[in-house]
Structures are given as C-alpha cells and as structure tokens.
Structure 1
C-alpha cells in the first residue's frame, strides 16, 4: 500500500468539485430541453465524468502501479480539452437564438474538435514508455488551439450582431468573458507540454504547475459557467433554442 502523494491530493480536489459541476450541467440540460440541450450541455457533463474517472485512476495508483491505470489517467487528462472547448461553443449556440452564426458553422467546428479528440486518444493509446508527446497528440493540440481562436472570433462576431440582449444572454456572455482567461491558460499549459521539452509542463511533471495552470483553471472556468448558466436558464426571459426557431421563420435543423 503506497502513500498519498501531492498528485493524489489534486485528484481528491477534483473528486470533490466535479460532481457538483456534473449535477449543475444536468440541471441546465433539463431546463434547456433534453434533445436540444444535449447539443450544448452534454459537454460539461462529459468533462466532469472524465475528470472524475481520471481522479479515480490517480487514486488507484496508490496501491496499483499498473501501466494501464496510468494510461487511463493520461487519456482522461489529455482528451478533456475537447469537451471543455465544446462547452463554450455550445454556450455561444445557446446565446444565438436567432442563428446569426449559421448552424452549419457550429456543427463544422464541433466536428473538427471531435477529430482532435480522436487524434488525442490515438496518440495516448499508442504512446511508448509513458511518452505521450508524439505527432498525433501534437496534431490534436494544434486543432484545439485553432478551435479556440475560432471560438473567440465567433464570440466577438456574435457580440456585434446581437442588439438588445435578453438578461439570460447577458449572463451567458458574462460566463464566456470571465471564463476566457482561465481557458486560455489551460490551453497554454497543454501547448507548452506538447510542443516543448520543458519538464515542468509535461503530463506527469511539476504538480504545482499542473494544479495552478490546469486543474484550478478548469475548475474556476467551469464553476463560473455553471453558476451563471444556472442563473441564465432560471431567468423569466430565457428562450429555448427550439422555441426561438419555431417562432421565427421555418428552418430544418440538422443535429
């Protein structure tokens, strides 16, 4: 039986916080409609499951040093960026009740992010001797960085296009604005780890850097989003996406 390490303590922190984020995402999902909401709020739900699973794997290493457990922990850690980014792409979609951004564009960004996710999983799964930095994982990180830039441009475009925002839209925009710096730092941390040889930024490198630039960044960003997201869907002027589209011109929406 091994001892509890600094890394295990970080896992315990995630096990405490992410179940609350998971519950909040389910609540918002239900309020926005199970079918339409699934295109948006399933992503923080998925991120929470990944972080909980990764934390459990970390704690299992206390008594079991199996390489498979370390690989499972690495997979949960590295692919979590995809649902993190898709959460904010989804929030933009929730704001954009009049479809100023063509739905096809949002679906294309989602597809590109999933391609990055697949590359990331393949890169981690085929890694040798715990070296998770290879062409596939670097390619996945490049896709995630590009998606983030597109997301920021989309958010700016939507801000210009929407006039007389409803209260719920303002709260969701505030969630985006407040979370953006934390998501950026999270991506910078992973990018440095993937594209440089600085040991402190590697997957199992310096635990303090990992805590401050990855774990806490995700937690703060998601807590902000869940709190403001919950408040937004409880607003009296909240509009479900399906309701907004039905009240305007007829459109054939493709999932």
Structure 2
C-alpha cells in the first residue's frame, strides 16, 4: 500500500531521528545519568519520534487496518512536545549547578518536572479516551487533551522566565554553562512555534477518531488546517517537524562541542562564580 502524505512524513521522521538517536546515546554516555537529566530526555524524545514514525508507517502498510497502531502513533506524535520541554527544563537546571557539580533548587525543578508529566499524562489519556466509542469518554478526553496542552504552554512560559532570570545573572554563571544558556536561548523561539502549533492543533477539533479508512475524522473549523492528523501537511512539516529538528540539532551541537564537565574541574570556580555557591 502506498503511503499518504502523513505516512511519507512519518517515514522521513524515522530517517531524520535514527542518526540523532545514536548521537543522543553518545551524549548521555558523555555526561552520565546523574548530571544529564536534560540530555537523557533528548534521548527519550528521539526514541519517541522514531517509535511514533514506525507505528504510523506500519499502520498504513498493514491490512486489514489496525487502529491500535494509529492510536499509538498519534499519541506519540501529540505527546512529543513534553520531552522537549522537559529536556529544556533539565538543561536550564544544569546551569544552576555548583562548581562541584551539585544541583540547586531541586524542589522547584522537581515541581516543574511534575507539571510537565501531568501535562503529558493528560494528553495521552485524552487521546485514548477520544478514540473510544463512548460519547462521555470522548468529551472528557477532549477536555483532558486541551488541559494538557495548556499546561505545556504554561511550562514554556516558565522556561522563558527562568532563561531571562539567568541572563540577568549571566556574569555569575560558570564559563561553559554561559554558552549552554546561549544555545537554549537560540532554541526557545523554535520551541515557541512548536508549542503554538500544539495548541492550535489541539483546539482545531473537538474530537477525532480512527476510522476504517485509516484516517481521522476531518473537521472544517477555522483551525482545521492546523490539525495534526487531518490538517495541511505543509504546516505540520514547518511548525512541528522542522521546529523540533532545529531544537535537537542545537542541543546536540551544544552537548558535543561544549566541554561542560570542565566547569566542575576548576578549584577557583566557587570564588569566581558566586551564583553557583551551595545554597543552605
């Protein structure tokens, strides 16, 4: 069976992210699990994109239609924003590390991580409920899905606030983490467009369901062209795929080029960068 436009884009997604899946594995190996929460989530995002693309390609190739593959692929597509936001949050958190490599403001950042996880759960459960045959489940699913993307938007606004705060204290930030802050600042506009697309897509329809013709129910609302499943593929390509890819490229280059671990090796770092002294 020939792939439609979304199937082709799903195949392209696999080709785009398999190399970065390997790169992100190298990055996590470089920084480790303890210091690299943001980098680990970059790896998670690449896995989500490869797996989601594979499910959507398989859904179009397999006959008879297997709706579970579509549901799984769509859920991964719609929830991909979460690991990107949480990755950015983790990278911002790493900028607050002490010269000895210990994290600061743990409680605050854990609460923000929880916010991102709640948003992710709402989106996934919402999509699952909307694909059920129950009208009450469809209604509650739509509400949860919209609540989830609103929380994504709130989390993005918080990330911008943290970034702006760090720039006001930039003279106190460790040497290579200043460069990481620049990379995050460059990535934030791309993340903004991606977040906006997620909002427009979610509010473009009150519901969607997988049909026997292997497509989702079309809608004709004002925002229909932004629908992630039935909208214009050109908008999806630019506002989602390319924005995400730009962010992954920026973060990957920063991780590979910047010797971030060198920030923890200078015996004079604590005196030179008072912002990163341990807080009691």
Please state how far the C-alpha of 1:225 moved relative to its aligned partner. Answer: 1.0
**TM-score, length-normalised on structure 1?**
0.86
CA distances 1:151-184 after superposition (whole Å, capped 9, x unpaired): 1001111221232544421321121121111111
The answer (yes or no) to whether the contact 1:182–1:218 under 8 Å persists in 2 is yes
CA distances 1:94-146 after superposition (whole Å, capped 9, x unpaired): 22223896221111100111011111111011113797970010010011000
Q: Paired residue for 1:93?
A: 93
Q: Paired residue for 1:200?
A: 225
Q: Paired residue for 2:213?
A: none
Please state how far the C-alpha of 1:235 moved relative to its aligned partner. Answer: 5.5
Q: Paired residue for 1:128?
A: 131
- CA–CA distance in structure 2, aligned partners of residues 159 and 83 of structure 1: 24
* Equivalences for residues 1-255 of structure 1 within 5 A: 2-37=1-36, 39-64=37-62, 65-98=65-98, 102-128=105-131, 134-196=142-204, 197=221, 198-204=223-229, 205-232=231-258, 234=259, 237-239=262-264, 249=278
Per the alignment, do residues 236 and 109 of structure 1 end up closer, same or farther by CA in structure 2, a change over 3 Å counting? closer
Please list every run of at least 4 consecutive aligned residues from structure 1 whose deviation after the TM superposition is greater than 6 angstroms. Answer: 129-133
SS at match of 2:264: coil
- CA–CA distance in structure 2, aligned partners of residues 148 and 235 of structure 1: 24
- CA–CA distance in structure 2, aligned partners of residues 13 and 55 of structure 1: 8
Please state how far the C-alpha of 1:250 moved relative to its aligned partner. Answer: 8.6
SS at match of 1:139: helix
Please state how far the C-alpha of 1:83 moved relative to its aligned partner. Answer: 0.4
The answer (yes or no) to whether the contact 1:101–1:158 under 8 Å persists in 2 is no
The answer (yes or no) to whether the contact 1:171–1:231 under 8 Å persists in 2 is no
- CA–CA distance in structure 2, aligned partners of residues 236 and 222 of structure 1: 20
Unmatched 5+ stretches in structure 2: 205-220, 271-275
SS at match of 1:4: coil
- CA–CA distance in structure 1, aligned partners of residues 5 and 41 of structure 2: 28
- CA–CA distance in structure 1, aligned partners of residues 8 and 186 of structure 2: 27
- CA–CA distance in structure 2, aligned partners of residues 29 and 151 of structure 1: 22
Which is higher, the Rg of structure 1 or of structure 2? 2
Per the alignment, do residues 202 and 249 of structure 1 end up closer, same or farther by CA in structure 2, a change over 3 Å counting? closer
Unmatched 5+ stretches in structure 1: none
